[in-house]
Structure 1
Amino acid sequence: MHKSYGGQALIEGVMMRGKHHQAMAVRLDDGRIESLVTPFTPWGEAHPILRLPFIRGSVNMVESLVVGMKALSWSTNVNLSGGMDAEEEAVKPWQMALTVLMSLLLSIGIFFLLPVLLAHAAGPWISGVLAQNLLEGVLRVGIFLLYICLIAQMPDIHRVFQYHGAEHKSIHCYEKGAPLAPASARRFSRLHPRCGTSFLFIVMVVSIFVFSFTGVDNILLRLFSRVLLLPVIAGVSYEILKWTGRHMDRPIVRLIAWPGMQIQRMTTAEPDEDMLEVALVALEKVRLAEKDQEPVPFTQMTYLAAQH
C-alpha cells in the first residue's frame, strides 16, 4: 500500500509532506533546482489527544498553516538570494507567529464575519433568523468563490496555481504506481480529493448547516457564535474530507466530493514540464527521507531527483 503524501505550492516550487519529513524544491532563475528536507513531529503525535476525531481537524488546519507559512518563507528567501544563504534571511519565530495570527484573523473576518454583517444589513428585506442565516451561508460561499476568481487573475498567483497542479499530478502519479517522470505525471488529473481547496469548500457548506440552527438574533452574539463554532465546523469538515478521500471508488462519495473538486479547477492550472520536474524532485526527496520502499517504476527522472 502506498504511503500518503500531501503538499503545497510554493513560490516557484512545491513542498511535499510525509509522516515525519517534508521536502521543498524550487526552480531558480538559472534553471537549477534548490531543495531542502527537514524532519518534523506532528502536533498530534506529540500530544495524542490532538489526534482524536473532530479535534484533529482544527489542529491540522492550524498546523498546516504554520508549516505552509514557513515553507513559503523559505521559497521566497531562496528565490531572492539565488539559492545561497537562504537561512540567514529566514523570518524570526515572532514574525512567523504574527503572520499566522494575522492570516487567521483576516480569513475569519472576510469569510465568516463579513457575511454575517451583510446578511444583518439585509434585515429590512429578509426577516427571520433562519432566512438571514441561510443568506449568510450563500454570501459566504459567494465571497469565497469571488476571492479565488480575483486572485487567479494575478500572474504570480497563476504560476503558484500551476505548481499546485504539478503537486497534484505528481501525487496521483505516485499513487497509481506510474513512472515518476514529467511525461508520465502530465497525463494525470490536476484535481485531487484530499486538496485543501476541497476542505475549505466543505467548511463553507458545513457552516451553512451549523449556523442555520444557531437561532441567534442579536448581531454581537451572532458574530461571537461564528468564531466560537469554527473549531466544530473545521472538525466535522476534516472528517468528511478524510472519509471522501478514502472512498472515492464509490459513486455516491464521488458525487459528494464533486463540487469541491470542481473548485480546484480555479485554484490549479496545467503545469509545464519544468514545474512537474520540481514537484517530482520534492516528492522523491521526501520519499527518500521517509525510507519509502514502494516499488515505483524506476526512471531517469527518479535518478536525477535523487542527485539534486
Structure 2
Amino acid sequence: MSKPFHYGGQAVIEGVMMRGANAAVTAVRRPNGELAINAETLPTLYRGWPRRTPFLRGVIVLIESLALGVKSILFSANAALGEEEEELSGLTIALMLTLSLGLAVALFFVTPLVLTRLLLPLVKSTLTFNLVEGIIRLAIFVVYLKVMSLMPDIRRVFAYHGAEHKTVNAFEAGAPMEVAAIRKYNKAHVRCGTSFLLVVLVIAIFVFAFVGLPSIAVLVVSRIVLVPVIAALGYEFVHFGADHATNRVVKALMAPGLMLQSLTTREPDDSQIEVAVAALNKAIEADRAEVVA
C-alpha cells in the first residue's frame, strides 16, 4: 500500500502556495478582497522517480522549492498589487534561480568560512575550525531570520506561513477544512523549510570536516560543490523525522527546528487561513482530477 501524499507549501506575498502530487497552486488575496488562484501542472522531474529516490530527491526538492518559489512569489506580487502577470522565459527564471542560490551560498556558506579564516588564521585543528565556522553559520542564519521578522511586510508573509502550517496540520489530522476547525492547530510543522535549513547548516559542520584545512580557494569551492550533498542528507533527516515524529528521540532532534519556526511563523487571521485553505483545496482537486483522468 502506497503512503499518502504529504501536502506542503510556501508563504508568498499576501498568499500561500500549496504543492500537490501533480500541481502547485498559489492563492493570493487581491486588494479588493477577492482571491486570485493559479494552478500549474508540475513537470515530470518534480513528480517522477527522481522525486522518490532517496538522497537524489533531496537535490530535486531543493531545485523544485527554488523554482516554484520564484514563480509563485512573482504571481503573488502581481496579484497583490492588482496587476496582470507577465510570462517569464525559461532563461529569466533560470537566472533568478541561479542568483537566489548564489546569494544563499555566499551568505550562509562562504561568509562563515571567510570570517572563521580571519578569526583563526593559525588554527591547525580541523575540528576546531569547523565548529567555529558552524557556530558562525548558525548565528548568521538566526540573526538573518530575526531581522527579517522585524519587517512589517515580512511579518505578514510569516503569518501566511503560519496559516499554511495550520491548514496542513489540520488536513493531516483529518479535520474539516474550515477556519474555525483549523485555527486551533499548531503553526509549526515538522516538514517546514525552516527546520530543513537548520538541519542543513548543522550537517554541513560534519560534511566539511572531511575536507580538512587545504587552501582557502579549495575550501571555498568545497562549500559550493558540497551543497547538493548536504541538501540530500538534510532532506533525508527531515523526511525520516516526519515519518517518526512520535518517537521521543526523533522529537528531541526535531525540537530545535520547531522552536526556530517561532521566528518564521506568526498567528494568522481568519482571512489568511481562508487563503491557505483555498490553495490546498485546489491542489487536492487537481490531484483527484489527475487520478480520475
Q: TM-score range by the shorter chain?
A: over 0.9
Does residue 271 of the first structure (1) align with residue 272 of the second (2)?
A: no
Matched-pair contact (CA < 8 Å) for 1:16–1:282: yes
How far does the alpha carbon of each residue in 1:104-151 deviate from its partner, in whole angstroms, 9 at most, with x for none? 110000000000000000125755332112100110000000100111
Instruction: State which of 112, 136, 139 in structure 2 corresponds to 1:139.
Output: 136
Separation in 1, partners of 2:264, 2:50: 33
Flag as ranges the 4+ runs of structure 1 deviating above 4 A.
124-127
Matched-pair contact (CA < 8 Å) for 2:46–2:64: no
Q: Provide the TM-score with structure 2 as the length reference.
A: 0.93
Correspondence list, 1:257-296, <5 A: 257-291=254-288
Q: What 5-or-longer segments of structure 2 have no aligned partner?
A: none
Q: Which residue of 2 aligns with 1:73?
A: 74
Does residue 163 of the first structure (1) align with residue 160 of the second (2)?
A: yes
Secondary structure of 2:81's aligned partner: helix
Correspondence list, 1:85-124, <5 A: 86-87=84-85, 89-124=86-121
Q: CA RMSD in A?
A: 1.7
Instruction: State which of 227, 231, 235 in structure 1 corresponds to 2:232.
Output: 235
Matched-pair contact (CA < 8 Å) for 2:21–2:47: no
Matched-pair contact (CA < 8 Å) for 1:172–1:188: yes
- Out of 71-80 and 158-167, give the one that drifted further: 71-80
Matched-pair contact (CA < 8 Å) for 2:30–2:82: no
Q: Which residue of 1 aligns with 2:214?
A: 217
Secondary structure of 1:38's aligned partner: strand
- How many residues are treated as equivalent by the alignment? 287
Residue identity matched to 2:174? G
Residue identity matched to 2:36? E
Separation in 2, partners of 1:147, 1:244: 25
Separation in 1, partners of 2:210, 2:12: 39
Matched-pair contact (CA < 8 Å) for 2:27–2:278: yes
How far does the alpha carbon of each residue in 1:135-180 deviate from its partner, in whole angstroms, 9 at most, with x for none? 0011000000010011111111000000000000000111111111
Deviation of residue 71 (structure 1)? 0.7
Secondary structure of 2:288's aligned partner: coil
Matched-pair contact (CA < 8 Å) for 1:198–1:260: yes
Deviation of residue 37 (structure 1)? 1.8
Separation in 1, partners of 2:168, 2:60: 24
Q: What 5-or-longer segments of structure 1 have no aligned partner?
A: 293-308
Secondary structure of 2:189's aligned partner: coil
How far does the alpha carbon of each residue in 1:16-60 deviate from its partner, in whole angstroms, 9 at most, with x for none? 1111012111111111111122211341545x3564322221121
Does residue 30 of the first structure (1) align with residue 32 of the second (2)?
A: yes
Q: 1:187 to 1:42 in 2, by over 3 A?
A: farther
Separation in 1, partners of 2:47, 2:173: 28
How far does the alpha carbon of each residue in 1:213-246 deviate from its partner, in whole angstroms, 9 at most, with x for none? 3212311111111112211111111100100011
Instruction: State which of 39, 42, 52 in structure 2 corresponds to 1:40.
Output: 42
- Out of 101-110 and 26-35, give the one that drifted further: 26-35
Q: Which residue of 1 aligns with 2:56?
A: 55
- Out of 34-43 and 20-29, give the one that drifted further: 34-43
Secondary structure of 1:264's aligned partner: helix
Secondary structure of 1:211's aligned partner: helix
Q: Which residue of 2 aligns with 1:245?
A: 242
Q: 1:139 to 1:36 in 2, by over 3 A?
A: same
Deviation of residue 4 (structure 1)? 1.7
Secondary structure of 1:31's aligned partner: coil
Residue identity matched to 2:94? A
Q: 1:78 to 1:49 in 2, by over 3 A?
A: closer
Separation in 1, partners of 2:126, 2:112: 14
Q: 1:182 to 1:123 in 2, by over 3 A?
A: same
Deviation of residue 68 (structure 1)? 1.0
- Out of 157-166 and 25-34, give the one that drifted further: 25-34
Q: 1:203 to 1:91 in 2, by over 3 A?
A: same
Percent of aligned positions that are identical: 40
Deviation of residue 95 (structure 1)? 2.0
